[in-house]
């Protein structure tokens, strides 16, 4: 079974700063996806960024980028020029590529509460 | 294009009552997933359904919980004889068939169940 660990329960930074959220995972699989989801106070889960394990290039989406270290099983999220609207819970998630969903699909970490201070 | 719709957003039940949570996937999506989120926790997978079929229910408790996704109408997560430990936020997510293996799930806003 896969496990996802987020070791930072809460982080707080000033607006416009850069912040990095850490995530490690454990799996014996070779083909998988990794995700970061954002859950604002409205509680809706929003996909922030996705990384395919077979791709060496780190995924980027505007101010969001990842540092994917496959050998170390590490998948950190970097948020540049942080904004007040980035305040939310951030969940790292893992999915076994071949399962197509289900119990071997999305496995979530416990989340990191990110607070952006004005 | 409306997103994943869940209702009710909030549901209060007394111990022993039944709870029914509904989920209408995004238009064109035929895969539905239910997740449960306890306070201070991430989402835990419960069940994965396609139209009229349960594909994987390994995350769902064997007793009192059931799920369906009929040919017509929303997916239903049903919890019978609720207990206080069932209090949680229940999230539904959907994905389109052609991207079922990309992991790109679209989530609803969740239904928060409170058991008194």
B→A interface, C-beta within 8 Å: 31, 33, 35, 40-45, 48, 55-56, 58-59, 89, 91, 93, 95, 100-105, 107-110, 112
Residues counted in chain B = 116
The Cβ-side half-sphere exposure at B97, using a 13 Å CA radius, reads 5
Pairwise CA distance, residues A51 & A55, whole Å: 7
Does A33 sit within 8 Å of B103, measured CB to CB? yes
Q: What are phi and psi of B58, to 5 degrees?
A: -65, -20
Pairing, β B29-37 against β B43-50: antiparallel
Give the percent of chain A with pLDDT over 90.
Answer: 70
Inter-chain Cβ pairs, chain A and chain B, closer than 8 A: 75
Q: Which of B5, B1, B3, B2 is nearest to B73 (CA)?
A: B5
pLDDT category, A96, cuts 50, 70, 90?
A: confident
| Residue B76 confidence (pLDDT) | 97
Torsion-angle region of B10 (φ positive above 0: left; ψ -120 to 50: alpha; else: beta): beta
pLDDT of residue B23: 97
- Quick one: tokens of B56? 């994987």
Angle at B107 between CA B104 and CA A84, to 5 degrees: 100
Q: What is the pLDDT of residue A92?
A: 96
For A25-52, what is the mean pLDDT?
89
Structure-model confidence comparison of residues B96 and A26, the more confident one? A26
pLDDT of residue A98: 59
How close A97 comes to chain B (CA, Å)? Answer: 6
* pLDDT at residue number B98: 53
- Give the residue-averaged pLDDT of A63-89: 96
Q: Considering only the C-alpha atoms of chain A, give the largest distance between any 2 of them, rounded to a whole number of Å.
A: 43
Q: Residue A44's pLDDT is what? A: 83
Start-end of H helices in chain B: none
Tokens read off for A45: 């889960």
Mean pLDDT computed over every residue of chain A: 90
Residues of chain B predicted below pLDDT 70: 1, 97-103
> If we measure between CA atoms, which residue out of A113, A115, A26 comes closest to residue A75?
A26
Cβ B56–A102 below 8 Å, yes or no? yes
Task: State the burial class of residue A65 (Cβ atoms within 10 Å of its Cβ: 0-12, 13-18, 19+).
Answer: middle
DSSP 8-state class, residue A58:
P
User: Would you call B114 exposed, middle or buried from its count of C-beta atoms within 10 A (0-12, 13-18, 19+)?
Assistant: middle
Q: So what's the pLDDT on residue A103? A: 42
pLDDT computed for residue B104 by the predictor: 76
């Amino acid at each position: 079974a896969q496990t996802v660990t987020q070791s930072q329960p809460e982080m707080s930074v000033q607006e416009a700063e850069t912040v990095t959220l850490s995530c490690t995972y454990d799996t014996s699989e070779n083909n998988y996806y990794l995700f970061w989801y954002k859950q604002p106070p409205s509680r809706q889960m929003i996909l922030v960024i996705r990384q395919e394990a077979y791709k060496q290039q780190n995924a980027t989406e505007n101010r969001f980028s990842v540092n994917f270290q496959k050998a170390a099983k590490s998948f950190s999220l970097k948020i540049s020029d942080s904004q007040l609207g980035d305040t939310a819970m951030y969940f790292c998630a893992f999915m076994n590529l071949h399962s197509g969903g289900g119990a071997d699909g999305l496995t979530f970490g416990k989340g990191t509460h990110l607070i952006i201070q004005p | 294009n409306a997103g994943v719709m869940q209702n009710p957003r909030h549901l209060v039940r007394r111990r022993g009552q039944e709870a029914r949570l509904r989920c209408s996937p995004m238009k064109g999506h035929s895969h539905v997933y239910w997740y449960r989120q306890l306070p201070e926790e991430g989402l835990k997978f419960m069940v994965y359904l396609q139209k009229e079929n349960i594909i994987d229910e390994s995350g769902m408790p064997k007793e009192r919980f059931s799920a369906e996704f009929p040919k017509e109408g929303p997916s239903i997560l049903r919890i019978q004889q609720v207990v206080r430990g069932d209090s949680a936020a229940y999230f539904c997510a959907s994905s389109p068939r052609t991207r079922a293996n990309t992991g790109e799930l679209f989530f609803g806003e969740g239904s928060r169940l409170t058991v008194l």
